[in-house]
Structure 1
């Protein structure tokens, strides 16, 4: 029996100083790694709407999506699933990030692209590659 592919989404939020907003995952897939905020797409919900909703739930911020940055894939990274996720470019329009779901996230931070924490989730690595920054 084959397993279905799951759909998620996330956003690469970069501030005026060129730093990337990352959150530390506490749950699978990729527990312990630093990743982009976002989450699972619910049936009938547009991916862009999911990204806005999930990021407000996770970090208490309102974002504006400015474009599609890349498509990320996470294949069996600890949860036995295959995730496909659009990653949007976005900016904060209101609020200040804070961990709203401490059971899911160990922390958050703004990170210079040449000083990213580790380990990074596969969507972050896919985003870096799409930006031509795979060697950062």
Structure 2
């Protein structure tokens, strides 16, 4: 049972939504995660889908909450299955061209750092969803 499940409740996958945000120079905005899954990894910003919320709205809301920037979630870039013994997440990644505002960590318990990175000079390790997103961006 994962830490997000209650005793007696069936295990269910969780859904996370985020965006691969590219600036005008083609750099990707990444954040370093403090929380599981994939704590210590660099990935695109985003978070957990709320009940009754569209996936696109979730990505935009989570990025605003985490970094204080506004993005418009464009087309779906990729969908990543993250299945482990103790967790099961499905991550939907949208493409976002640019943002309004300058990123500032709004949730220091969740995020350690942020930065803009060239696609050929990314930090390590990367989250699975970011690995999938980068593959799509490079095609």
Q: TM-score, normalised to structure 2's length?
A: 0.88
Cα distance, 1:56–1:41 mapped onto 2, change above 3 Å: same
Secondary structure of 1:64's partner?
Answer: coil
Q: 1:132, 1:113 → 2: CA distance?
A: 8
- For structure 1, list consecutive stretches of 5 or more residues without a partner in the other structure: none
**Aligned mate of 1:72, from 67, 80, 84:** 80
C-alpha deviations, 1:4-29, integer Å up to 9, x for none?
11111110001111100000000100
C-alpha deviations, 1:90-127, integer Å up to 9, x for none?
13442110111111100000000111000000000111
Q: How far apart are 1:132 and its partner, in Å?
A: 4.2
Q: Supply the RMSD in Å over aligned alpha carbons.
A: 1.7
Aligned pairs (5 A) from 1:16-95: 16-76=24-84, 80-95=86-101
Larger Rg: 1 or 2? Answer: 2
Higher mean alpha-carbon deviation, 106-115 vs 86-95, is at 86-95
| Higher strand content, 1 or 2 | 1
C-alpha deviations, 1:46-84, integer Å up to 9, x for none?
0011011100000000001221111122222xx821111
- For structure 2, list consecutive stretches of 5 or more residues without a partner in the other structure: 2-9
Aligned length: 131
Q: How far apart are 1:85 and its partner, in Å?
A: 1.8
Q: How far apart are 1:130 and its partner, in Å?
A: 2.5
Give runs of ≥4 in structure 1 deviating > 2 Å: 129-133
Query: 1:99 — aligned with what?
Result: 105
